[in-house]
Amino acid sequence: MFNPKAHNLLKEIINDLPSAIRQDEDFVFRLATNFSGLYQRFQDLYGSKHSFEGALGQLVTVLANQYNNRSEGLRLKDLERQDGQWFLSNEVTGMMLYVDRFSDDLKGLLTKMDYLEDLGINLLHLMPLLEGPKEKNDGGYAVSDYFKIDKRFGSNNDFHKVVHETHNREMYVMCDLVINHTSEEHEWAQLAKKGDPKYQDYYYMFNDRTVPDLFERSLPEVFPESSPGNFTFSEEMGKWVMTVFNDYQWDLNYGNPQVLIEMINILLTQANWGIDIFRLDAVAFVWKKLGATSQNLPEAHTILQIYKACTQIVAPGVALLAEAIVAPDEIVKYFGTSNIAGNECDIAYHATLMALLWDSIATHNCKVLTNGLQSMPFKVHGATWINYVRCHDDIGLGYSDEDIWRAGYNPHEHRKFIVNFFTGRFDGTFASGMPFMYNPKNGDARISGSLASLAGLEKAIEEDDIDKIDFAVKRILLLHAIIISYGGIPMLYYGDETGTENDYSFLQDDKTADDNRWLHRPKIDWKKQFENLKDERNPRAIIFKALKKMIQTRKSSPEWADHNSCRILDTGNDHVLAFERRLGDKVTLTLANFKDSDQWLPIDWVAENRLNIDNLYDKYTEEHINGISGAVTLSPYQFMWLTEEY
Ligand code: GLC
Ligand code: GLC
């Protein structure tokens, strides 16, 4: 669409650019193709302020400067990645880790690269590394300086070395960008505290409770136990500051275009450090409105579209991941709502799959899981998922009530059961977790706990029960077999590759005691780790070896690249999940038995799903499957990657 106002402004802007940039075709073309979209979005957000064209001009200056600073090497990579396929590949497998808890610091991380590579990891999500408050910083999600690596991890130079080393090994680096809030120690917050009106306008602040009370009527609470309410009184200013997460995390006011411009400058500065993927934190929350829950608002999407357009202009090889742990219908909107990918985030967490997998572990059946996956809205081509079993956060049961009803359960009772099951309040449960942020106002709770402990390994080892240990290990592998073959980037959580259990030491530390997500943020003891791995019968070694094999299998399975080819199948057996992945005439069926007893699928069912039953083969065990008895048999918690022998 031709917009004469935007066109004229663009002409002026381009004329004012330094000549080296003005003559750079890549930059100018990318700017020109994205400009009317940017103009429109600025107008939508800031049109009521007549200065929006000035702000847009300022933004383009930032883009030009950052492009100017982008190295030749990165610019080349941008061009190589223009087809946008790299993150769809079946060859990518990630691990997320806290650098200090995994390897002490960034230097230590360099010594663990061989270990990661041996497992098959080629994407590292390094959890927040930037400077934050010493005491409480929400695991780094409260940032005080976006340009400086926190001393706890090392120096900026150490970080650059890690990026360099990962790229030398043909691995990718992903980092967080905390865009919704800063720490109260950030320079902007400090200037605001001193009374500077410019910086007070970077946040939401109010002289009395009138507006905060109005907001509270509709804003949900994220941390009702440790940080109730959404506003914190600042003694220094005598004002109420919006703090949706913890009281030391001040929400940024995106109603002020200066905030957006600053944050885009930060993103691009870091993109020039060589980061391949940005995990945009808490994206659902970035726009606030009275009378609304202020999650997933259309304006939040507009903000993300601006982030994306700016990244496309300056650093198109960089991908954006939306951290939106929201209802399934809302998650897919973060890919953009048109049918072409690339105008909002490239990647999103499949929080629905994650939570549903845990549902199936507790119920031993796949009714809600299958319903939930079948009713997932369409994901645009070219966008992909991060598929995960556990991460540093709690497990929220945010899937749809309707899918629970259809499975024959009452959603409220069902969720209560799931939480009880994983937090040891259900008779006979194998899981040891803790309820996270129980909210007495609405009865909601989420779940904390490590994969191994939730899957039963902690209890089984305590009881020294070989059969239970075996089942727990099988559950851990079952869950991973699904995320590795589902379509999207499997993201392992550090420690899970060796079945690391809950770490209760957080209770002894004032900095962490009120947030039991620290239960599943273990410190790795490498001496023990290597000893365990040497003993082939040790459950930790069994898990590691199996995951390594799964990742290798994934790398040689082009049908598992994400071309939106995942089809969830009805098996007729409630305990078995099945999905098909296809590329051309190559098909693999993932079968997963969530029950602790043998399950059968009729061989005719397999035949209906277009596999040649005389030639069946499990890609994981590398064994021929004999369907002579008329059925394919899955042992307790067994998974199969069923295909034809080629
Ligand atoms: C995201 C992070 C979580 C953090 C929150 C606030 O949800 O994953 O750990 O507490 O944002 O930054
Ligand atoms: C918010 C975030 C979610 C995170 C949680 C932290 O709900 O959306 O990502 O898990 O905070 O507990």
Angle at CA of residue 340, ends 335 and 343, nearest 5°: 50
Q: What is the predicted pLDDT for the residue at 415?
A: 96
Q: In this structure, which ligand is nearest to the CA of 521?
A: 1
* Pairing outcome for strands 277-281 and 249-251: unpaired
Q: Where are the domains of the chain?
A: 563-644
Q: What is the predicted pLDDT for the residue at 51?
A: 82
Ligand 1, pocket-test mutation among 251, 354, 393, most atoms within 8 A of CB = 393
Angle at CA of residue 504, ends 501 and 505, nearest 5°: 125
Q: For ligand 2, atom 9, which residue shows the shortest CA distance? A: 325
Tokens of 192: 């605001």
Helix (H) or strand (E) holding 120: none
Report the largest interatomic distance among the alpha carbons of the chain, rounded to a whole angstrom.
80
> H-type helices in 516-585, by residue range?
526-534, 539-555
Q: Which residue has the tokens 């072409």?
A: 340
CB burial class (10 A; 0-12, 13-18, 19+) of residue 622? exposed
Radius of gyration of the chain (CA): 25
- Other beta carbons less than 10 A from residue 177's beta carbon: 24
Tokens of 124: 């590292």
How many angstroms separate the CA atoms of 198 and 195, rounded? 9
* Displacement of CA 616 from its chain's centroid (Å): 35
145 three-state secondary structure: strand
Q: What is the predicted pLDDT for the residue at 442?
A: 80
Atom of ligand 1 minimally distant from the CA of 139: 9
Ligand 2 centroid, distance to 325 Cα (angstroms): 6
Whether the CB-CB separation of 553 and 590 falls below 8 Å is answered with no
Whether the CB-CB separation of 84 and 346 falls below 8 Å is answered with yes
Q: What is the DSSP letter of 48?
A: T
Tokens of 348: 């999103």
Ligand 2 centroid, distance to 580 Cα (angstroms): 31
Q: What is the predicted pLDDT for the residue at 531?
A: 96
How many angstroms separate the CA atoms of 602 and 144, rounded? 59
Ligand 1 centroid, distance to 3 Cα (angstroms): 39
384 three-state secondary structure: strand
Which residues carry out catalysis?
281, 323
CATH placement of domain 563-644 = 2.60.40.1180
Whether the CB-CB separation of 252 and 245 falls below 8 Å is answered with no
The letter for the amino acid at 31 is L
Q: What is the predicted pLDDT for the residue at 2?
A: 77
Whether the CB-CB separation of 125 and 96 falls below 8 Å is answered with yes
Residues framing ligand 2 (Cβ under 6 A)? 222, 282, 284, 323, 325, 393-394
Q: List the chain residues with pLDDT less than 50.
A: none
Q: For ligand 2, atom 4, which residue shows the shortest CA distance? A: 393
pTM: 0.96
Tokens of 298: 């259309």
